[in-house]
Amino acid sequence: MSPSRSEQTPGGCKIGAGWTDGAPMQRSEVLCGLLVFLCLAGPGRAAAGLNPTDDAKAPTSILVMGRPDLPDDDFADSVILVMNNLGPGTAGVILNRPTKMEISQLFPEIKRLAQLHDRVYFGGPVDIRAVWFLVRAATPPEHAVKACEGVYLSADRKLLLKLLGRDRPMEGLRIFIGHSAWAPGQLEAEIDDDDWTLDRARPDAIFDGKSEHPWPGPGGPESST
């Protein structure tokens, strides 16, 4: 099974080497943490096209890793940041699917980006025309939702353009097209079927992972870029 390919979007817009430097989570710890995580999932107030919840102390994200032999190439061997504060279900972005599109192609009007060769990432098959981004920040940016300590998710264009206007525009920034989503109860069932393994969401795991799987993969649809 794989995440939903529905065009509905929340709001507006085994553990691989290199993805974790901590001890793997024990199964009992994973299941306990997952239960808390999923029980806290629910609709919240809109902020910049996303729907955050109020409880800053609640766990808001986990990493899920897809089996290499999942039948859907989009998700086989994928690493997904899954969040529970974006809507009634769980949703997130795939972290290790760089596309052929460079950031400068996504924002051709910003001439200074032409010198950059950073790639846009495929976040998932839902609402593929929407742009989401993750940013590292010492203080919470406006119009962003906390993913984990020091990392925030947003779909706010003004915030993104502000970040791209910095001297080092891509520092601590990753941009995605599309996202992934599960219907209520779907992720739990897929984990029970051993389609996914889990780990804690941490900034180093999100931004420093080296296991890259370009999208589209062999035999996949040709990118429009």
As beta bridge partners, residue 197 has: 65
Q: Is residue 52 part of a domain?
A: yes
Would you state the pLDDT for residue 165? Answer: 95
pLDDT-derived band at 217 (thresholds 50, 70, 90) equals low
Q: Is residue 20 part of a domain?
A: no
Q: Is residue 45 part of a domain?
A: yes
Q: Is residue 15 part of a domain?
A: no
Q: Is residue 154 part of a domain?
A: yes
Count of beta carbons in the 10 Å neighbourhood of residue 76? 15
Would you state the pLDDT for residue 140? Answer: 94
Task: Please say whether the beta carbons of 103 and 134 come within 8 A.
Answer: no
Q: Is residue 39 part of a domain?
A: yes
Instruction: Write out the residue range of the structural domain in which residue 98 sits.
Output: 27-207
CATH classification at residue 59: 3.40.1740.10
Q: What is the mean pLDDT of the chain?
A: 76
Would you state the pLDDT for residue 54? Answer: 43
Q: Is residue 194 part of a domain?
A: yes
43-47, 138-142, 189-193: which has the minimum mean pLDDT?
43-47
36-45, 104-113, 139-148, 189-198: which has the minimum mean pLDDT?
36-45
Q: Is residue 139 part of a domain?
A: yes
Does the pLDDT value for residue 29 go beyond 50?
no
Count of the separate structural domains present in the chain? 1
pLDDT-derived band at 98 (thresholds 50, 70, 90) equals very high
pLDDT tens across 108-155, in order?
A: 999 999 999 999 999 999 999 999 999 999 999 999 999 999 999 999
In angstroms, how far is CA 52 from the centroid of its own chain? Answer: 15
Would you state the pLDDT for residue 17? Answer: 24
Q: Locate all alpha helices (DSSP H) within 84-222, ordered by sequence.
A: 103-106, 157-164, 186-192, 203-207
Q: At 25, phi and psi to the nearest 5?
A: -70, 135
Judged by DSSP in three states, 146 sits in: strand
pLDDT-derived band at 90 (thresholds 50, 70, 90) equals confident
